[in-house]
């Protein structure tokens, strides 16, 4: 498995949120995670890229592993975050920056690319996600679907091997959700591994080869997705 979660536990105070979660995803696979609100889905995503630290168990992405007792945890965390991009539910674009500047920010300030190289890559990414013509717009000037595509381009700017998506269709109508499915399908065809939390069964069926259900902090057996209707 390229992404592997093994017996992960996470508590907030006295409340167990993840209670021994284990799952695996192959490189280039898409996995949808469903379940009721409060089941721990977003917490699991946050553990996968190190925004939350498991209390027990381990998370592995490629050759990089993170969990309690990990040697050199800061190095492991940095390595995993280079591999894993995160599309937040609220998208979190910087409102004072243009779309292009939003995409350029991390490669320049985190990856230390030259601004010229980062800008060339960012323009290519914006074309790839279908909003190249909106590079100089500010987030407030974009539709919801355009803002989401800008956020995807920003997540891809660090060249991750895995993209995590938290409720990606929550603010989209059906037509925009279908456009997102088409875009994600093309990214997966390019080798990107996708893990999405969603309440939308139609999106889950359209995106994923498998669907896992998380309930009461525990994950059920992942089942094969059927073709969307």
Instruction: Per-residue pLDDT tens, the chain, 229 aa: give them.
Output: 999 999 999 999 999 999 999 999 999 999 999 999 989 999 999 999 999 999 999 999 999 999 998 888 899 999 999 999 999 988 889 999 999 999 999 999 999 999 999 999 999 999 999 999 999 999 999 999 999 999 999 999 999 999 999 999 998 899 999 999 999 999 999 999 999 999 999 999 999 889 999 998 999 766 677 655 5
Residue 55 lies in a domain: yes
Residue 57 lies in a domain: yes
Which CATH number do you get for residue 217?
3.40.50.300
Residue 159 lies in a domain: yes
Task: Provide the edge-to-edge strand list for the sheet that holds 56-61.
Answer: 15-25, 3-12, 56-61, 64-66
- The structural domain count of the chain equals 1
In sequence order, what are the beta bridge partners of 31? Answer: 195, 210
Domain that holds residue 28: 3-224
pTM of model > 0.85: yes
Question: pLDDT tens digits, residue range 151-185?
Answer: 999 999 999 999 999 999 998 899 999 999 999 99
Q: Which residues neighbour 219 within 8 Å (Cβ) at sequence distance 6 or greater?
A: 21, 22, 23, 33, 212, 213
Residue 229 lies in a domain: no
């Amino acid at each position: 498995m390229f992404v592997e979660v093994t017996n992960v536990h996470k508590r907030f105070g006295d409340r167990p949120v993840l209670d021994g979660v284990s799952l695996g995803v192959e490189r280039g696979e898409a996995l949808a995670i469903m379940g009721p609100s409060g089941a721990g889905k977003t917490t699991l995503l946050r553990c996968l890229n190190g925004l939350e630290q498991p209390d027990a168990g381990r998370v592995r992405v490629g050759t990089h592993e993170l969990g309690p007792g990990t040697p050199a945890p800061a190095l492991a965390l940095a390595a995993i975050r280079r591999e894993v991009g995160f599309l937040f539910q609220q998208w979190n674009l910087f409102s004072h920056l243009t779309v292009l500047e939003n995409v350029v920010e991390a490669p320049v300030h985190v990856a230390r690319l030259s601004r010229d190289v980062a800008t060339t890559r960012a323009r290519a990414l914006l074309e790839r996600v279908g909003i190249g013509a909106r590079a100089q717009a500010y987030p407030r000037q974009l539709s919801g679907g355009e803002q989401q595509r800008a956020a995807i381009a920003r997540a891809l700017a660090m060249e991750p091997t895995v993209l995590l998506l938290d409720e990606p269709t929550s603010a989209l109508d059906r037509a925009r959700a279908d456009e997102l499915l088409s875009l994600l399908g093309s990214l997966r065809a390019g080798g990107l591994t996708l893990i999405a939390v969603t309440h939308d069964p139609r999106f889950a069926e359209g995106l994923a080869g498998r669907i896992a259900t998380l309930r009461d902090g525990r994950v059920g057996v992942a089942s094969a997705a059927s073709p969307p209707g």
